[in-house]
Amino acid sequence: MRTTFMSLFFKSPFVNLKRHADKVSECARVFHKAVKCHLDKQCEMFDDLTDQVAVLESEADAIKRNIRGHLPKGVLMPVDKFQFFMYLREQDKVVDAVEEALYWLSYRPQGLADEVGEDALFLVEKVLPPIESLSPLVEKASEFFKSPSEALRGEIKSVIRDIRQAEHEADHLERELMHKIFSTVKDPLSVFHLIRLVETIGSIADHAQNASDMMRAMIAE
């Protein structure tokens, strides 16, 4: 029945969902460059990279609005519409969290405390795989809803497991870094800034996992 439902669309909603996921992945790559630049303290491109993320966020938001605006009430979906929109919401929150993390970095233009800088970058690198997995996840899901098969379902579940594992590892590192901040950083203002920054970076992987959980629900029999 899913194939029949999909045939009623002039354009599959997963086409734009994939475009949105691609923007999210692109945003993650720029985010990584921006954090490395900020920690370098000699790099002068941080503001430009932050502006690039803001542009990508705006483009992703436009795609999100397009998706929402072109699904009229009563239209037949290959998946539950609520789950589809929840997936889109969580995928979009990834970009929002990336942008917020860069804003928090910008509040300390002198850089982060030396004792936590490398760990912060390591955390960023831990949250990247879940983000970059969203695009192939949507692509495989799009194929699945056009022509369902157990092989494709298995591939999608495998990507979801990878995202969940990566989020778990990022969550563990986030807790360790918070403990280190409280143990080594003495300035209360710096502690507040770093804790909020670490929480925001960690939330990136959280939203990626939430999106993958929605996808798991959509492919369920």
Domain ranges of the chain: 2-219
Neighbours of 7 (CB within 10 A): 11
- The model's pLDDT over 112-152, given as tens digits with 9 standing for 90+, comes to 887 898 999 999 999 999 999 999 999 999 999 888 899 99
How far is 108 from 91, CA to CA, in rounded Å? 28
Does this model's pTM top 0.85? My answer is yes
Instruction: Specify the pLDDT at position 81.
Output: 85
pLDDT in tens, 52-104: 999 999 999 999 999 888 765 655 566 788 899 999 999 999 999 999 999 99
Does the domain spanning 2-219 belong to CATH 1.10.760.10?
A: no
